[in-house]
């Protein structure tokens, strides 16, 4: 690979770093050879991290000229994301470790996609995760792969996870971001909402993190077959989103992918609200006027 640290010297954001890498590597293969990329950028090696307390780490010198990445043993997709995450810490000079010369990251750090205002440590983890997602799933290659996908389906998420060698949740985040439809993915653990990812046009999800999955959800009624996606089925939109009174409710569909150990992903797809005819609008307005004015 021709990429070198010199070409990244003035790139400080995840987006700028990955843009420079892709400019230098226009023919980057899929899955991205992340350890080879690390070796070209000053990483001396990747070593196993044998602890239950942390998922990954980075040990570097004071000048940040070279480093060793520590990654917990586990599934290869998860380990690849950890390696990419730590490479992001290494390349972003403004990422200052909690301990001199050493970053240590928990599993929760590698899931973080928002940061509290003013919390610099959380912001660093968010940026490292953005870098990892972008470098493992380069946008132009991701769009190319998704061009064959039309209607939203969790089977597409599974295909992306397999082809890019990333975890299913990482693939789901990218899928939601780049899919043209109004979709969201809810990550469930032991019957409770753990995380939610939604496209910019998808409304806020009313189920708070930690709350039970709604009783009327397909998650509650579909046969829980691990590693299998259910059929797509219509559901009541007010299970997941606020439906304003006096407005026509949009159509909402669900699909569930059950995973081992009580985890699942729920895909929500919001259908566009059909246009009302002028006659329908006049009729609706008439009924609303009668109701609010008390006339019968």
Query: Cα–Cα distance between 32 and 281 in angstroms, integer?
Result: 53
Contact 192, 208 (CB under 8 A): no
Are 136 and 142 a contacting pair, CB within 8 Å?
Answer: no
Architecture of the 5-136 domain = Orthogonal Bundle (1.10)
Q: Which helix (H) or strand (E) holds 144?
A: helix 139-146
Of the listed ranges 76-90, 97-111, 243-257, the one predicted with least confidence? 243-257
Give the separation between CA 191 and CA 78, rounded to whole angstroms. Answer: 23
Strand partners, 186: 196, 266
**Local confidence band at 236 (pLDDT 50, 70, 90 cut-offs):** very high
Strongest mean pLDDT among 47-51, 128-132, 261-265 = 128-132
Task: Kindly report, residue by residue over 169-181, the tens digit of the pLDDT.
Answer: 999 999 999 999 9
Q: First vs last Cα of the chain: how many Å apart? A: 77
DSSP for 199-228, please give it. -TTSPPP-S-TTSBPPTTSHHHHS---TTE
What is residue 252's predicted lDDT score, i.e. its pLDDT?
96
Name the more confident of 130 and 276.
130
Say whether pLDDT at 227 is over 60. yes
Residue 211 scores a pLDDT above 60 = yes
pLDDT at residue 296 greater than cutoff 70: no
SS3 102: strand
Going by pLDDT thresholds of 50, 70 and 90, the confidence category of residue 282 is low
Q: How many CA atoms lie within 13 A of 231 on its CB side?
A: 6
Strands 252-258 and 228-229, by their bridges, are antiparallel
Mean pLDDT of the chain: 90
Q: Which residue has the tokens 């797509």?
A: 232
Please tell me the distance from the alpha carbon of residue 72 to that of residue 255, in angstroms, as a whole number: 32
pLDDT confidence of residue 3: 79
Nearest Cα neighbor of 167 from 133, 196, 128, 142 is 133
The domains of the chain are located at 5-136, 180-270
pLDDT value at 219 more than 90: yes
Contacts of 244 (CB under 8 A, 6+ apart): none
- Torsion from C-alpha of 250, 256, 257, 261, nearest 10 degrees: 130
pLDDT at 292: 44
Residue 99 is given by DSSP the state: B
Whether residue 10 is predicted with pLDDT greater than 90 in this model: the reply is: no
Across 265-269, average pLDDT: 98
Q: Name which of 136, 41, 54 is nearest 102 in CA terms.
A: 54
Q: What is the mean pLDDT of residues 79-102?
A: 93
Looking at residue 289, its pLDDT comes to 43
Of the candidates 38, 97, 96, 92, the residue with the CA atom closest to the CA atom of residue 69: 38
pLDDT of residue 141: 95
pLDDT at 284 over 70: no
pTM of the model: 0.87
- Report the distance separating Cα 67 and Cα 293, nearest Å: 73
Segment 59-71 mean pLDDT: 93
CA–CA dist 45, 188 (Å, integer): 35
pLDDT at 291 over 80: no
45: helix, coil or strand? strand
Q: How confident is the model at residue 293 (pLDDT cuts 50, 70, 90)?
A: very low
């Amino acid at each position: 690979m021709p990429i070198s640290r010199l070409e990244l010297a003035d790139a400080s954001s995840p987006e700028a770093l990955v843009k420079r890498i892709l400019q230098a590597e226009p023919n980057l293969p899929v899955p991205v050879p992340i350890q080879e990329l690390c070796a070209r950028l000053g990483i001396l090696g990747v070593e196993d991290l044998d602890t239950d307390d942390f998922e990954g780490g980075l040990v570097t010198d004071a000048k940040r000229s070279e480093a060793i990445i520590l990654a917990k043993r586990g599934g290869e997709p998860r380990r690849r994301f950890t390696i990419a995450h730590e490479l992001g810490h290494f390349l972003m000079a403004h990422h200052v470790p909690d301990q001199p010369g050493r970053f240590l990251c928990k599993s929760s750090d590698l899931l973080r996609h928002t940061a509290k205002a003013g919390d610099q440590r959380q912001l660093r983890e968010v940026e490292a995760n953005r870098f990892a997602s972008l470098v493992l799933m380069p946008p132009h290659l991701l769009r190319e792969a998704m061009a064959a996908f039309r209607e939203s389906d969790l089977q597409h998420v599974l295909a992306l996870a397999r082809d890019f060698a990333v975890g299913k949740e990482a693939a789901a985040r990218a899928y939601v971001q780049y899919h043209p439809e109004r979709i969201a993915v809810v990550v469930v653990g032991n019957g409770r909402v753990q995380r939610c990812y939604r496209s910019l046009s998808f409304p806020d999800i009313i189920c708070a993190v930690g709350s039970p999955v709604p009783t009327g959800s397909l998650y509650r009624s579909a046969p829980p077959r691990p590693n299998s996606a259910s059929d797509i089925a219509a559901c009541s939109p007010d299970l997941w989103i606020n439906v304003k009174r006096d407005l026509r409710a949009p159509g909402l569909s669900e699909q569930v992918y059950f995973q081992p150990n009580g985890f699942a992903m729920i895909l929500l797809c919001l259908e566009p609200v059909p246009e009302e005819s002028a006659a329908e609008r006049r009729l609706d307005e008439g009924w609303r006027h009668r109701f609010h004015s008390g006339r019968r």
